[in-house]
A and B are shown apart, each in its own frame.
Chain A
């Protein structure tokens, strides 16, 4: 039976936008029956939010104290327990989905399609390999459950519809294996929009020179109402925390407007911004590879140009 199950990602009582993007990918499968599973300690708020998304058939709410901050080892058997009624099980390609979904796939006994960027038909998908330097078409077997992660940067979030679907409560099916414990979660938090989903992003690179140098970026981003990002070089140099990294091994983003400031444009960084609407590059080196992909470029001293821009907007 053709039926899709989406595993919701949520934090602090709110649905992560990656879930509505995963739903967008699910809708392109051409299957009408789409359920969302919400695993939470207390899930009513998140379940209601999910139930209002356009095109959802049912929300399954599974509440348990273990789900306050569940690990992949705790959740994967729960997904396996739900798997029987579904032809497709999808999660987002965030670190949450990348950690969890392969563990669930292995328990179900199927391979996983990672980072789906386009659905050709219910079992045929396009996904990037080699840091996006090649795109492959993969076909999953028709007679097995399809487990896949949906590349958030390739899909826009499904909006809320006119009505809410039913919320069904289910019991947890597995128990805590007891071998994995959360010790601490340290979030950068900070002000401003979320990097993963922001419409505007301003990123700084190694040329910022120091943490203090990044103040130029923060100030400009604030004026623009943009999220702040960074290249791997800037993160490795310790100018900003790791969760700001944009690129192959950081966040893959698709803002409408992206500023790459003092970023040379290594292929691994470009992988993270391929789907951006308009890219602006500011760099003192006119030969920097970032200019090969930028829609607009300014060559010069970023510490002069960026404050000037900030005044002009």
Chain B
């Protein structure tokens, strides 16, 4: 079985993102960029499945400008076998991304596609579900546990009410939640080795997918801020304050 893992280059988890003063976007100049943390967990899970002998090959792919090859190289250093870079300088929204990944699925015929449950930049949480719809295959989103046997995946999902377990026939699309695993650290020799692993470039135009944006972003603004309140001296004072506000 082959596993396809789409990864997205995003502003690093630890960066405190700020809206540009002219409202044209968020500040990304000189900011640390990383693999979307949920995608990193997706890749880790794919690698563990390969190491357990259930998959033969893990392919990472990404859509974007030249820079996203840094994240693909990181994916290769983690242990992916090959990388595919779909090159474009346009911003790609989830439906277009799903259409692009479907083209890669047609070329690669994976048994599973693992994605993060959302990207921490746009927080959309759409691409995996859309891909499963277009591919007409099962989806198991927000996975916190995955067990494979006989061409099926048993997936525990984190849902509103608690934990739901679905069984899906493969091929299927899985999106992963934080508690699925802890991704490995990349070691220096692996980074060196990753430089020699294949990384293919495909121009978006050659895939015959229209990447035109469906939703137009017209403005960015900082969120309204909560101002900090007061530090009180005692539990009694707190109870009095809350009673005064009619909250107790």
Which of A99, A256, A286, A313 is packed against the most chain B CB atoms within 10 Å?
A: A99
* A248 smallest CB distance to B (angstroms): 8
With most chain B CB atoms within 10 A of its CB, the pick from A106, A131, A138, A286 is A106
Q: Do A103 and B129 touch across chains, with their CB atoms under 8 A apart? A: yes
Complexed CA–CA distance, A288 and B132 (Å): 42
Task: Classify chain A: how many residues form its interface, as a range.
Answer: 35 or more
Beta-carbon contacts under 8 Å, B112-167 to A = 117-118, 120-127, 129-134, 136-142, 144, 154, 157-167
Task: Check: A175 CB closer than 8 A to any chain B CB.
Answer: no
Q: Is the CB of A106 within 8 A of B121?
A: no
**A68 / chain B contacts, CB cutoff of 8 Å:** none
Chain B contacts of A19 at CB under 8 A? none
Residues of B within 8 A of A251 (CB): 160
Could you say which of B98, B219, B231 contacts A136, with CB atoms under 8 Å apart? B219
Could you tell me the distance in whole angstroms from the C-beta of B8 to the nearest C-beta in chain A? 13
A297 to B248, CA, bound (A): 16
Interface locus among B68-76, B192-200, B237-245: B237-245
Nearest residue, chain B, Cβ from A278: B247
* Chain A residues, CB < 8 A from B137: 179
Whether B126 contacts A134 by the Cβ 8 Å rule is: no
User: Are A137 and B162 neighbours in the complex by a CB distance under 8 Å?
Assistant: no
Per the 8 Å Cβ criterion, residues 5-20 of A in contact with B are 11, 16
> Does B236 count as interface, using CB distance less than 8 angstroms?
yes
Q: Mark interface residues in B209-247 (1 if CB within 8 Å of A CB, else 0).
A: 000011111111111001011111011101101100101
Cβ of B33 under 8 Å from chain A:
no
Look across to chain A and name the residue whose beta carbon is closest to the beta carbon of B248: A313
Pair count A-B, CB < 8 A: 248
Would you call A179 and B214 a contact (CB within 8 A)?
Answer: no
| Alpha-carbon separation in the docked complex, A103 to B122 (Å) | 18
Please, what's the 1-or-0 string for B173-200, where 1 marks a CB less than 8 Å from any CB in chain A?
0000111000000000000000000000
* Min C-beta distance of B131 to chain A, whole Å: 8
Q: What chain A residues lie within 8 Å of B141 (beta carbons)?
A: 72, 95, 98-99
Q: Would you call B232 and A296 a contact (CB within 8 A)?
A: yes
Shortest C-beta distance, A255 to chain B (Å), equals 10
Known: A73-B139, A105-B95, A181-B167. A305 touches B214 (CB 8 A): no
Q: Give a binary string over A239-272; 1 marks a CB under 8 Å from any B CB, 0 the rest.
A: 0011100001101000011000000000100000
- Asked if A203 CB lies within 8 Å of chain B CBs, one says no
Check: B104 CB closer than 8 A to any chain A CB.
Answer: no
**Which of A94, A103, A243, A280 lies in contact with B139, CB distance below 8 A?**
A103
For the complex formed, measure the closest distance between the CB of B64 and the CB atoms of chain A, giving whole angstroms: 17
In the complex, per-residue mask of A269-313: 1 if CB is within 8 Å of any chain B CB, else 0: 000001001111000001000011111111100000100110011
* Interface set, chain B 51-106, CB cutoff 8 A to A: 93-95, 98
Cβ of B241 and Cβ of A102 under 8 Å apart? no
Q: Is B17 an interface residue (CB 8 A)?
A: yes
Q: A162-185 interface mask toward B, CB cutoff 8 Å, 1 = contact, 0 = none?
A: 000000000000000101111111
Interface residues of B (CB under 8 A from A): 11, 16-19, 26, 93-95, 98, 117-118, 120-127, 129-134, 136-142, 144, 154, 157-169, 172, 177-179, 213-223, 226, 228-232, 234-236, 238-239, 241-242, 245, 247-248
19 pairs of residues in contact across A and B, judged by CB atoms under 8 Å: A16-B160, A71-B138, A73-B138, A95-B157, A99-B141, A102-B125, A113-B215, A129-B122, A130-B17, A131-B123, A134-B17, A137-B217, A138-B215, A185-B163, A186-B163, A274-B223, A279-B229, A280-B238, A298-B231
Known: A236-B179, A286-B231. 5 other contacts (CB 8 A): A104-B133, A139-B217, A183-B165, A243-B161, A296-B230
Residues of A within 8 A of B (CB): 11, 16, 71-73, 76, 94-96, 98-107, 109-115, 124, 128-141, 144, 177, 179-189, 196, 232, 235-236, 241-243, 248-249, 251, 256-257, 267, 274, 277-280, 286, 291-299, 305, 308-309, 312-313
Shortest beta-carbon contacts, A-B, top 5: A111-B214, A106-B130, A295-B229, A102-B129, A106-B133
